Amino acid sequence: MKPLSELKIAVCSDHAGYELKCKIVEYLRSKQAGQVTDFGTHSAESADYPDFGHPMAHAVATGVCDMGISCCGTGNGITMTANRHAFVRAALCWKPELAALARQHNNANVLSMPARFITPEEAFAMIDVFFSTDYEGGRHQRRIEKIERF
């Protein structure tokens, strides 16, 4: 994987994830991430996660961005939205071990998080692991290919 400083990262949330998303963007910039593109939402007013999840996932699917980070209240809705896009493998994680395995075994390219159930520090720990863990390939690759078959 490219170093964090060279990655183009897409970030999005709904209203429930807005505060965490803002902290994530600040954190990525403090870590000198390459390019961070914020697909919204841009306030804590009620908003529908697909309105932000689809553009973020499209950017990852088409290669405009290398990886993505998404969050909503439970993380479920925005993860389901992202996974509707071919070549997007969004993984809902709530601890660093899951983020590591999502990269190692599933070659996840979007880290999704449940904003109402984690702290910013937990999110930062998952981000650090997610962007520093390589995909193992090997036996996992045939499984990834089966995901993309449909």
Q: Is 105 a catalytic residue?
A: yes
Question: Residue 50 class from Cβ within 10 Å (0-12 exposed, 13-18 middle, 19+ buried)?
Answer: middle
Q: Is residue 42 annotated as part of the catalytic site, yes or no?
A: no
Active-site pick, 22, 54, 58, 105: 105
CA distance 84 to 90: 10
Q: Are 39 and 56 in contact (CB under 8 A)?
A: yes
User: Which is the catalytic residue, given 12, 71, 72, 93?
Assistant: 72
Enumerate the active-site residues: 72, 105
